[in-house]
Amino acid sequence: MSTNAQLFERAQRVIPGGVNSPVRAFRAVGGTPRFISRAQGPYIFDAEGKRYIDYIGSWGPMILGHGHPEVLDAVQKAALEGFSFGAPTEREIELAEEILKLVPSMEQVRLVSSGTEAAMSAIRLARGATGRHKLIKFEGCYHGHADALLVKAGSGLATFGNPTSAGVPPEVVQHTLVLEYNNVAELEEAFQRHGADLACVMIEPIAGNMNFVRASIPFMTRLRELCTQHGALLVFDEVMTGFRVALGSAQSLYAKAIPGFAPDMSVFGKVIGGGMPLAAFGGKRAVMEKLAPLGPVYQAGTLSGNPVATACGLATLKQIQKPGFFEALSASTRTLVDGLNAAAKAAGVPFVVDCEGGMFGFFFGAALPQNYPAVMATDKERFNRFFHAMLDRGVYLAPALYEAGFVSAAHTAADIAATVEAAREAFKA
């Protein structure tokens, strides 16, 4: 049996950094990443045989837990029929119909293979549909690694963003404007200056890549008003929040709070694939018909609508629609965060926490952050110590301050109680 350390050393010889996605390398928290050998229900097991209560859930999609029997059965049957055809299947239609049934803001949807691909394609479509080039994103929101979206804030509203990655030429991001999340005044100024040139605004309604930061109701209300007024498309990135925070996704929560609210386009991933590589973007028919083969905006993919992935996603969506599913999931998540909060208070540790549906986040600080600078001001070193203390006690949290956590329907009351007990000990560490 190889140890985690041995596997990491071996991996670094053949894979850059030893991982195929950077956060897995534990660079933010230090130490050796755990190499996972298998998973079942709410648990993952590393190469050394140690079991962890899993609050990553493959970064969101495992809302039912790992190896749900009905999902597994659907995947096995689909695999026997064929891995990939490069031709349309009935299951693609069924999955599209299921998504549209649950998200009434969309009339048509295009299936792709990853959240990055979906966000990139949505921006291209927004530009093609409006005939404009510029877009707004928000600091701390992550929409995948497409060139136009790997952008940090410029020096001011007169200056557009600068690349955050080598290999992205400045001219590629010259049309991307980066604003502060939840800053209404900055938003209004940006539209005043650039409104006539804006194709779209892309936003995570609950930013899961700042850990867990909600867009406030006043901010979202004003954003919707400004997009409508200036003819820019409002694009909701629900790769993380979609079918995770509510059955109707995050947009359904804002629709309850803001009369008539709906985004113009939406981007989905994670849960709709059930752990398989699958994502989607969609919107009103008039916009979606701009896509090839009907319109001039080109987008294609050999594995789009893969028959095994669609089987997995369809089975997952059917399970989460069962009566009481989200009520139970939300109650479990609330029990967890309340327990963590109580344990922190008992230990005298500055700690704040928030949750929605099966998604949660916490910070070591006095108040819930509303934007990226506030997230950066929280106690990162304390988070790192807490992360390792929890890992040592068999609880697997995201190995970075900036990532949200996820509860699944497979987490039992005993799992959550064990997690809270581990936190009581870890807060003292």
* Distance between CA atoms of residues 60 and 52, nearest Å: 16
Given the residues 43, 142, 396, 402, the one annotated as active site: 142
Determine the residue type at 318.
K
Q: Is 254 one of the catalytic residues? A: no
Rounded to 10 deg, the angle between the 90-102 and 307-320 helix axes is 30
Sign of the C-alpha dihedral computed for residues 167, 297, 105 and 196 taken in this order = positive
Determine the residue type at 237.
D
Count Cβ atoms within 10 A of the Cβ of residue 294 and give its class: 0-12 exposed, 13-18 middle, 19 or more buried.
exposed
Q: Is 402 one of the catalytic residues? A: no
* Distance between CA atoms of residues 397 and 419, nearest Å: 10
Q: Is 354 one of the catalytic residues? A: no
386 membership: H or E segment, kind and range: helix 380-392
CB 29 within 8 A of CB 390: no
Given the residues 43, 54, 254, 270, the one annotated as active site: 270
Residue with the two structure tokens 């080039």: 133
CB 216 within 8 A of CB 183: no
Number of H helices, E strands in the chain: 13, 18
CB 198 within 8 A of CB 191: yes
CB 83 within 8 A of CB 308: yes
* Distance between CA atoms of residues 319 and 370, nearest Å: 33
* Distance between CA atoms of residues 128 and 29, nearest Å: 42
What stretches of 22-151 show up as alpha helix (H) in DSSP?
Answer: 69-81, 90-102, 115-130
Phi, psi of 309 (to 5 degrees): -65, -40
Given the residues 46, 54, 237, 264, the one annotated as active site: 237
Active-site residue list: 142, 237, 270
